[in-house]
């Protein structure tokens, strides 16, 4: 053990560095305060867009409508439901893939004993590193880029949209799960090991249950993120809320756009309230 | 139906019925939603594994995805390198760096905004007698705090991509839309996290300063924020990772960065170029991950948990 405590990092300097880098970035990007004032066209668009905010559409705007078209609100609620469906399907796949990957990426799994910090064998370290690299690659590609790759590779297909969300989300869940498993309290594992339970049993019944509240709380939060991602996938032709948002905005039907925005906001705010409520009950 | 539980399960003597009920409902609701999602017919699994999709995939992997100069002449390391370096020098390098700078600029903006909002969010500061009382008092202060929280919630509720989409229409032709969208979303997240950190600070030293006659602003700026700074920085670098990842896609809306080039390559059906650009994005994100991981470990050496 070190007798002298380590020197605290110079936080003021870090703060200054962030400020300087921020200004440098703004300079390199050519960002000027004047650029924040929209030109005449932008101003007019902004005016008509924001004036539509208080008057969201309840029926379709525009005259040229087929007589048998689905009513606007029904269409929109269906899109919201699809957004939820894509998110839920993607999360179910992510949990199925993320939990085993997270276990394989944790230190605890590869150590001989679940609670002591015994060293890993070289082979174990190599396997763990391979899993960790795979996880990092999965989540370093954004879900929209996965969507674009899958569009190019197989074409437009709703399961492709689910996969596009599920791949990076599995990686994120795996990473966070592995950290939570490594930080879970060890008492139960120690007790089980003391009475001669095999390592697998110690892991599954001594450690995983202790980490479970954290895992569930984090998964609930990720579901909220998945709904956002599913909504945005609509920009790539999938029939979620983003699809209606970009279409109505492109047509200048701003009142429809606002209805879509309000519905998405309501969905996300509800899920945020829910995931916070779940977290508060699970994590002290 | 909620399954009945044994009358006296261990550890359940405390009256926590309502809280348990929400968990049960959530669990059943979530399972129901997942089952409904797969059975609704909205997700076309069999179509994805159909013969024509398989043919597409095969062509993509064996032809389209192979770097163009290597398709006919066969694989050589030097050929691959010339191809990669050529793209980096042509446009990909600049696009990658632009992506990084967009993330840096928006995080700096988000951090500054969050620092300004955080004291209003903190109910120990945004109250009539700061640091001294247990609950918030003063109607005006209570509403100021609620308003600050509402701003944070609304700023982060919509996805960055949608925010950027709207900003692009109003402010076309610069990097501002991407920066504003990322700064809003992250500023909302950081604002609330910073505010909660300030609220949970050890109260007694701040109370001592208050009884010595320090003003609200003085104590906040010179005592509370400096004490909370390590936590603030941890949160900041945690968000920086995510922000870089998000910045790679905002270019798809027309801001000349990685996403723009990826979209461009895709519309030219140059899938080899597209995958190379995705690769540059992966490198950027991994580097940002590594950097912020390193900084956070360094910060943790002293940061109170």
Q: What's the total number of domains in chain B?
A: 1
> How far are the Cα atoms of A11, A105, A188, B205 from residue A185, in angstroms, in the given order?
31, 18, 8, 32
Q: Would B122 be classed as within a structural domain?
A: yes
Picking from B262, B248, B183, B160, the residue whose alpha carbon sits closest to that of residue A232 is: B160
- Which residues of chain A register pLDDT less than 70? 1-8, 63-68, 112-118, 284
CATH classification (class only), A72-282 = mainly alpha
Domain of residue B222, CATH code: 1.10.3720.10
Contacts with B286 (C-beta within 8 Å, 6 or more apart), sequence order: A136, A140
> How far are the Cα atoms of A25, B6, B197, B265 from residue B92, in angstroms, in the given order?
18, 63, 40, 11
The pLDDT of residue B8: 46
SS3 state of residue A72: helix
> Is residue B95 a contact partner of residue B277, using CB atoms and an 8 Å limit?
yes
User: pTM for the whole thing?
Assistant: 0.88
What is the rounded distance in angstroms from the CA atom of residue A3 to the CA atom of residue B225?
30
For residue B166, give its domain range.
98-300
Q: Do B170 and A45 touch (CB under 8 A)?
A: yes
- Conformational region of residue B303, where left means phi above 0, alpha means psi within -120 to 50, and beta covers everything else: beta
* Shortest distance, CA A257 to any CA of chain B (angstroms): 10
pLDDT in tens, A160-210: 999 999 999 999 999 999 999 988 888 888 888 889 888 888 888 888 888
Picking from B122, B299, B301, the residue whose alpha carbon sits closest to that of residue B206 is: B122
- Please give the backbone phi and psi of residue B31, each rounded to the nearest 5 degrees, phi first: -60, -40
> Is residue B220 a contact partner of residue B226, using CB atoms and an 8 Å limit?
no
Q: How far is CA A8 from the centre of its chain?
A: 33
The pLDDT of residue B2: 45
- Please give the backbone phi and psi of residue B76, each rounded to the nearest 5 degrees, phi first: -135, 145
Q: Please name the member of B108, B230, B275 whose beta carbon is closest to the beta carbon of A18.
A: B108
* Shortest distance, CA B65 to any CA of chain A (angstroms): 9
Q: Do B266 and A84 touch (CB under 8 A)?
A: no
The pLDDT of residue A111: 78
Burial annotation A208-231 (CB, 10 A radius, 16+ → b, else e): bebbebbbbbbbbbbbbbbbbbbb
The pLDDT of residue A66: 65
Percent of residues in chain A assigned helix, strand, coil, to nearest 5: 75, 0, 25
ipTM of the predicted structure? Answer: 0.89
Would you write out chain B's pLDDT as a tens digit for each of its 305 residues?
Answer: 344 444 444 444 455 555 688 899 999 999 999 999 999 988 988 888 888 888 888 888 888 888 887 777 777 888 889 899 999 999 899 999 999 999 999 999 999 999 999 999 998 888 888 888 766 778 888 899 999 999 999 999 999 999 999 999 999 888 999 999 999 999 999 999 999 999 989 888 999 999 898 888 999 999 999 999 988 999 999 999 999 999 999 999 988 889 999 999 999 989 999 999 999 999 999 999 999 988 888 887 764 44
How many degrees, rounded to 5, is the angle at CA A227 between CA B197 and CA B250? Answer: 80
> Is residue B280 a contact partner of residue B96, using CB atoms and an 8 Å limit?
yes
For residue B50, give the chain A residue with the closest CA.
A154
> Is residue A29 a contact partner of residue B101, using CB atoms and an 8 Å limit?
yes
Q: Would B197 be classed as within a structural domain?
A: yes
B157 touches chain A (CB under 8 A): yes
- Please give the backbone phi and psi of residue A247, each rounded to the nearest 5 degrees, phi first: -65, -50
Q: Do B246 and A142 touch (CB under 8 A)?
A: yes
Q: Do A45 and B19 touch (CB under 8 A)?
A: no
């Amino acid at each position: 053990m070190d007798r002298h405590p380590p020197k605290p990092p110079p936080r003021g300097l870090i703060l200054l560095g962030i400020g300087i880098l921020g200004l440098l970035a703004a300079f390199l990007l050519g960002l000027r305060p004047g650029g924040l004032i929209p030109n005449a066209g932008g101003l007019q668009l902004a005016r008509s867009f924001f004036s539509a905010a208080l008057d969201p559409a309840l029926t379709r705007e525009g005259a040229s409508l087929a007589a048998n078209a689905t009513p606007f609100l029904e269409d929109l609620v269906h899109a919201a439901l699809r957004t939820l469906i894509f998110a839920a399907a993607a999360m179910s796949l992510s949990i199925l893939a993320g939990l085993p990957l997270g276990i394989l990426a944790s230190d605890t799994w590869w150590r001989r004993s679940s609670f002591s910090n015994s060293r890993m064998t070289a082979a174990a370290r190599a396997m763990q590193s391979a899993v960790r690299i795979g996880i990092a690659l999965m989540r370093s590609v954004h879900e929209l880029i996965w969507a674009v790759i899958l569009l190019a590779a197989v074409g437009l297909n709703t399961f492709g949209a689910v996969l596009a969300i599920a791949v990076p989300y599995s990686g994120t869940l795996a990473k966070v799960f592995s950290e939570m498993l490594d930080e879970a309290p060890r008492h139960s594992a120690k007790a089980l090991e003391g009475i001669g339970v095999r390592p697998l049993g110690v892991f599954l019944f001594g450690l995983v249950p202790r980490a479970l509240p954290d895992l569930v709380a984090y998964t609930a939060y990720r579901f909220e993120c998945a709904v956002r991602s599913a909504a945005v996938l609509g920009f790539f032709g999938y029939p979620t809320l983003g699809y209606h948002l970009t279409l109505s905005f492109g047509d200048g039907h701003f009142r429809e756009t606002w209805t879509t925005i309000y519905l998405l906001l309501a969905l996300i705010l509800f899920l945020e309230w829910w995931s916070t409520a779940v977290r508060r009950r699970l994590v002290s | 139906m909620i399954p009945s539980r044994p009358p006296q399960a261990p550890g359940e003597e405390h009256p926590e019925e309502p809280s348990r009920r929400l968990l049960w409902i959530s669990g059943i609701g979530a399972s129901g939603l997942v089952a409904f999602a797969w059975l609704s017919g909205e997700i076309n699994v069999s179509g994805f594994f159909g013969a024509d999709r398989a043919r597409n995939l095969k062509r993509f992997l064996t032809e389209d995805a192979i770097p163009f100069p290597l398709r006919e002449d066969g694989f050589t390391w030097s050929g691959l390198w010339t191809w990669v370096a050529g793209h980096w020098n042509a446009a990909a390098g600049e696009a990658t760096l632009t992506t990084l700078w967009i993330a840096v600029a928006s995080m700096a903006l988000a951090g500054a905004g969050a620092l300004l909002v955080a004291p209003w969010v903190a109910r120990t500061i945004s109250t009539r007698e700061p640091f001294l009382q247990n609950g918030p008092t003063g109607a005006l202060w209570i509403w100021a705090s609620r308003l600050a929280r509402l701003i944070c919630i609304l700023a982060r509720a919509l996805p960055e991509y949608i925010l950027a989409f709207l900003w692009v229409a109003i402010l076309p032709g610069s990097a501002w839309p991407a920066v504003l969208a990322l700064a809003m979303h992250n500023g909302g997240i950081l604002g609330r996290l910073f505010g909660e950190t300030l609220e949970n600070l050890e109260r007694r030293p701040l109370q001592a300063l208050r009884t010595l006659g320090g003003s609200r602003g003085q104590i906040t700026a010179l005592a509370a924020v400096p004490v909370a700074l390590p936590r603030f920085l941890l949160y900041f670098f945690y968000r920086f990772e995510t922000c870089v990842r998000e910045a790679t896609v905002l270019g798809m809306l027309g801001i000349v960065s990685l996403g723009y080039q990826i979209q461009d390559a895709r519309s030219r059906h140059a899938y080899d170029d597209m995958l190379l650009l995705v690769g540059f994005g992966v490198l950027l994100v991994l580097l940002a991950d590594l950097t912020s991981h390193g900084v956070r470990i360094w910060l943790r050496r002293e940061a109170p948990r």
